[in-house]
Amino acid sequence: MKKLSHFDEQGAARMVDVSAKAITSREAAAGARVTMKASTLKLILDRKLSKGDVLGVARIAGIMAAKKTPDLIPLCHPLNLSSVEISFEPDRGASCIHVTATVRLAGRTGVEMEALTAAAVAGLTVYDMCKAVDKEITISDIRLLKKSGGKSGAFARK
C-alpha cells in the first residue's frame, strides 16, 4: 500500500527531500471549468466588460499563480519553471470556458501543483472580473489532466 510522502515516521508534516532525485524533464497539465450565464460568456468573448480583456488578465493571473505556488501550498518546493501556458476554450453550448494550464521544467520534482494552482487562479480571475454582471459563476472540475516525467511516470486522465 502506498503511503503519503509528506509525513515522516512520526506523522509530522515534512517537505519531501528531492536532493537525490535525478533532474528530468517534467510537464503537467491541469484544467478547470468556469460556468456562467450565456450573456456573460458573450460579454467576455466580445471583450465588452468594463474591466477589460478577461481572458488576457486571467492568463497572466494563472502564470503568476504557477510561479507563486510554493507561497500558497506549504510543502511545495520552490521551482525554476521553464514554461507556463494558459489556454481557454469557450463552449457556447454549455455556457462555460474550459481552462487548461500547462507547466514545464527540468527538475527533481513534478509540477502538478503549479498547473492545478494556475488553472484554479485563472478561473477565479474570470469570476473576479465578471462578478459585477454574474454572481452565479461556478468554478468546478479543477483536476490534473496529464503529467510526465519523474519516478511515478506518465499519467493521462481518460
- pLDDT score at 1: 67
- pLDDT score at 81: 98
Q: From 123, 25, 127, select the one nearest 81 (Cα to Cα).
A: 25
pLDDT at 56 over 70: yes
C-alpha cell at 120: 484554479
- Torsion over CA of 67, 100, 42 and 140, rounded to 10 degrees? -90
C-alpha cell at 39: 450573456
- pLDDT score at 102: 98
Q: Hey, what amino acid is at 18?
A: V
Beta-bridge mates of residue 101: 30, 86
Q: Which of 17, 46, 71, 128 is catalytic?
A: 128
pLDDT at 2 over 90: no
- pLDDT score at 9: 78
Other CB atoms within 10 A of residue 80 CB: 8
CA 131, CA 34: separation in Å to the nearest integer? 12
- pLDDT score at 119: 98
pTM over 0.85: yes
Q: Over the stretch 95-148, which tens digit does the pLDDT of each residue have?
A: 999 999 999 999 999 999 999 999 999 999 999 999 999 999 999 999 999 999
Q: Does an H or E element contain 124, and which?
A: helix 112-130
pLDDT tier at 17 (50, 70, 90 boundaries)?
confident
Under 8 Å CB-to-CB from 83, ≥6 apart: which residues?
A: 102, 103, 104, 105
pLDDT tier at 156 (50, 70, 90 boundaries)?
very high
Q: Does an H or E element contain 142, and which?
A: strand 138-148
- pLDDT score at 146: 98
User: Cell 500500500, residue?
Assistant: 1
User: Cell 494556475, residue?
Assistant: 118
Whether 128 sits among the annotated catalytic residues: the reply is yes
Average pLDDT, the chain: 94
